A and B are shown apart, each in its own frame.
Chain A
């Protein structure tokens, strides 16, 4: 079963605007990762944040992690039409029967209009 819940399920914005996606999870994690998937393609790794980190940046991406609330957010600044894709959060679980498994959230479909 998927432990990650993402919202919104779909997000439609204009080019140049910022896009924020949220992810919640249920169990203890080693890290949380964000992936992008263009239609008909595989997943592309965007950024990884460890459980002892609170914020991380990579280019136009900013990820935050709040382990007390078991939540994360992905901010894409100055969006471009090429950012149109599905975005998934994925947690690497810290223990139990799910140890070592990457579990994906339901995903957010982002559409950026030119």
Chain B
């Protein structure tokens, strides 16, 4: 079992749908991350939240909208996605933002997203 919980585990949606991915951690971590991972590829960073504020956006298309309602929760709102957005979306957290200390990141098991 991981300490970072992601829901749902699987999501199938049409290109016109609006859905949200949810991530939750109760380790008191103050940095949270969204990654996208295509099959047989490494994770690619999308967004970083540091102390509940968006600190890094890796030029992600606006059809992906992150939200950090509080220090334990991270959402990724999806709208008008494309078939190429089908991937495993991973959430991670760390005690403090990655640039401030030598702390590992803790990953959830991801949401496998399929766009029809």
Whether the pair B43, A43 counts as a contact (CB closer than 8 A) is: yes
Docked Cα-Cα span, A35 to B43, in Å, equals 11
In the bound complex, residues from chain B placing their C-beta under 8 Å from that of A40 are 109, 112
Interface contacts (Cβ under 8 Å), in number, total 64
Question: Which chain A residue lies CB-closest to B2?
Answer: A42
In the bound complex, residues from chain A placing their C-beta under 8 Å from that of B44 are 2, 104
Docked Cα-Cα span, A88 to B40, in Å, equals 11
Interface residues of B in 29-63 (CB under 8 A from A): 33, 41-45, 48, 55-56
Interface residue? A100 (CB, 8 A)? yes
Docked Cα-Cα span, A83 to B45, in Å, equals 26
Partner of B45, one of A42, A43, A44, A102: A102
Q: From residue B48, how far is it (CB to closest CB) to chain A in Å?
A: 7
Q: Known contacts A2-B42, A30-B102: does B109 contact A42 (CB below 8 Å)?
A: yes
Chain A: interface residue count, which band?
20 to 34
Interface string of B99-116 (1 = CB under 8 A from A): 110101111111010000
Question: Which chain B residue lies CB-closest to A88?
Answer: B42
Q: From residue A85, how far is it (CB to closest CB) to chain B in Å?
A: 13
In the bound complex, residues from chain B placing their C-beta under 8 Å from that of A105 are 42
Most B-side CB within 10 Å, residue of A2, A42, A100, A101: A42
Interface residue? B4 (CB, 8 A)? yes
Whether the pair A42, B90 counts as a contact (CB closer than 8 A) is: yes
In the bound complex, residues from chain B placing their C-beta under 8 Å from that of A33 are 104
Interface string of A37-58 (1 = CB under 8 A from B): 0001111110010100000000
Interface residue? A106 (CB, 8 A)? yes
Docked Cα-Cα span, A38 to B11, in Å, equals 20
Interface residue? B98 (CB, 8 A)? yes
Q: From residue B42, how far is it (CB to closest CB) to chain A in Å?
A: 4
In the bound complex, residues from chain B placing their C-beta under 8 Å from that of A43 are 43, 90, 92, 105, 107
Interface residues of B (CB under 8 A from A): 2, 4, 6, 33, 41-45, 48, 55-56, 90, 92, 97-100, 102, 104-110, 112
Q: Rank and list the top 8 A-B pairs by shortest CB-CB distance, nearest first.
A: A100-B99, A104-B42, A42-B107, A45-B104, A43-B107, A42-B109, A31-B102, A100-B98
